[in-house]
Amino acid sequence: MNHAAQPPEESHLPTTTSIPTEQTRGVVRGHILFTFAVLLALALAWSLREVLALIYVSALFAVVFTPLVNNIMGIRLRGNRHISRLLAIVLLLGCIFFAVALFFLIALPPVIRDLHQFAYDLPARIPPIVARLKRLPLAGKLGVDNIAQRSEDALSATAAFLFSSFPDWMGRIFDLLTAFVLCIYFMLEGDQAYNWMLSLFPRERRQRLDTTLRAAELRVSKWLFGQATLMLILGASSTLVFGLLHVRYFILLGVLMGLFNIIPIAGAVITVTLSALVAALDSWEKMLGVLIFYIIYVNIENAVLTPRIMRHTVNLMGLTVLIALIAGAKLAGIVGILVAVPTAALISVLLDEYLVQKDLS
């Protein structure tokens, strides 16, 4: 005899899943506390963003200069001894300071002497300049007759601006000195700080992270070599061209053009403007020659030199470099531009290792 299947009796007891257990409440509290901790850390990082940027720039330049320090440490002394790290850093800084001091001791005296003479002769120079400008089209509408008074007003406004911004400049100088001291400490104690940072990660992930960061360190160090090559090319070519044009202080201007090339875009604008103004003191033709040279050089550098040198050293696309420069300028101004390319190299290595899906087929 077949009996119809009886439906199971419904249980009227409450299910255990409807009542939060103590363990569940603990997990929720942990998530809430973790969220508040992250928000607090972000707020703290935002309030200390200038300090963190200073630390980051110091650490980045320490990474760039550490290979030079290691090469100095590799020099063998008598008795098969090697130079200590502290002595290697002192020797490196001593060579840099000696080169800078020697350059300015040779280059500055004639510049100061000519500036003093120029200030003395300035009242006599203004009438010939006004006479030249009057020959230009639309000179009457431009108010050339009042150029002397306008020049004096501009000089007074410039002096007032420099005087009012003196505290800001002193703060920047203090930041520069602080970054310099931090860079030395990072070169001295960077290994200990690096090992402590690795200890924050699980043991099974440290080897991969260590390998990735060392590859990034190598690429960032190569950036210095590539940038130094671009600086040398610009400094040598501008010195040669300025010398052929008989521009005043052509050696000083050429060296400044090369040194300031480490600051992309902004450094070039400052130095080419200064060179054009110095050339204009003698003739407009010299100023035009300086501008034509720089326009030609910029196109050659952007089209040929930078893509080839940076691709072989940092291995970054031109589009990546451009985006990094724009982002760096927006975030931290000139300092951001200065560290944009090595930072992009660091991020590129991390992305290649952890996010890029490599085709294994």
Question: In whole angstroms, what is the distance from residue 92 CA to residue 73 CA?
Answer: 11
* pLDDT tens-digit series, residues 1-11: 455 555 555 54
pLDDT at 3: 52
Is 41:34 a contact under the CB 8 Å cutoff?
no
Question: In whole angstroms, what is the distance from residue 254 CA to residue 238 CA?
Answer: 5
With bands split at pLDDT 50, 70 and 90, how would you rate the model's confidence at 133?
Answer: low
Dihedral pair phi/psi, residue 325, rounded to 5°: -65, -40
Return the residue matching tokens 């560290």: 339
With bands split at pLDDT 50, 70 and 90, how would you rate the model's confidence at 41?
Answer: confident
For residue 224, what are the contacts with CB-CB under 8 A and spacing of at least 6? 64, 65
* pLDDT tens-digit series, residues 190-228: 888 888 888 888 888 888 888 988 888 888 877 777 888
Q: Collapsing DSSP states into helix, strand and coil, what is residue 76?
A: strand
Mean pLDDT of the chain: 77
Which residue from 220, 235, 221 is spatially nearest to 301, judged by alpha carbons? Answer: 235
Question: What are the start-end ranges of the H helices in the chain?
Answer: 22-47, 49-73, 85-134, 147-164, 166-198, 203-244, 250-260, 266-280, 284-300, 306-313, 318-338, 340-354
Average of per-residue pLDDT across 142-169: 59
Q: Collapsing DSSP states into helix, strand and coil, what is residue 82?
A: strand
More confident residue, 257 or 1: 257
With bands split at pLDDT 50, 70 and 90, how would you rate the model's confidence at 292?
Answer: very high
pLDDT at 240: 92
- pLDDT exceeds 60 at position 147: no
- pLDDT exceeds 70 at position 126: no
Report the percent of the chain where pLDDT is more than 70.
75
With bands split at pLDDT 50, 70 and 90, how would you rate the model's confidence at 122?
Answer: low
Q: Where are the domains of the chain?
A: 215-356
CA distances from 141 to 137, 138, 154 (A): 9, 5, 19
Average of per-residue pLDDT across 109-132: 68
The answer to pTM > 0.85 is no
CB atoms within 10 A of CB 139: 15
More confident residue, 19 or 123: 123
